[in-house]
Amino acid sequence: MRRSIVVHRLAPPLLTLALVLGAALSPGPTFATSDEAERERICAKAEKRYQELFGKPSSAEPVVIVTMYKYTFCPTVLTVKRGTTVRWVNVDKRTSHSVWLKEAGKEESDRLFPEESWEITYDVPPGEYPYLCGPHGKEEGMTGKVIVTP
Ligand SMILES: [Cu+2]
């Protein structure tokens, strides 16, 4: 009986401590959310840049466009049907990027300077095809993924 009283007296401060610690130690979801918001902001700007450069929305192209802007592939995860051609377009002002399907054992694309592009036709078995930017994949986390469906 005494023990349970002690436990009860300890419980509220411990609970408070746990809640405070929990709040302090759980920036994970917060960061993930702000990363996501940041990416959306960058991708919206990338689309604007695309339209400035090419005079039409990227969705008006006969191929699927992935823009490269501010160390970000937009969209970062893209789902396409088998046989679809995907074109990466650098809409940055100064930075060059590349596209490298390293896990699939492909060679890295040439370095793409602003306004340059490179494309792949995904005539491949359905699955996930991750890729990265050669110069910015590691340190800047510039990576993307194409999911191919039948
Ligand atoms: Cu890059």
Residues with CB under 5 A from ligand 1 (ion): 97, 133, 136, 142
User: 111 C-alpha to center of ligand 1: Å?
Assistant: 9
User: 135 C-alpha to center of ligand 1: Å?
Assistant: 6
User: 43 C-alpha to center of ligand 1: Å?
Assistant: 14
Instruction: Select 29-149's CATH number: 2.60.40.420, 3.40.50.150, 1.10.1740.10, 1.10.3720.10.
Output: 2.60.40.420
103, 108, 114, 120 alpha-carbon torsion, rounded to 10°: -70
Q: Domain ranges in the chain?
A: 29-149
78, 64, 53, 45 alpha-carbon torsion, rounded to 10°: -20
pTM for the predicted model, two decimal places = 0.78
pLDDT at 106 over 60: yes
User: 108 C-alpha to center of ligand 1: Å?
Assistant: 12
pLDDT at 23 over 80: no
Confidence (pLDDT) at 31: 60
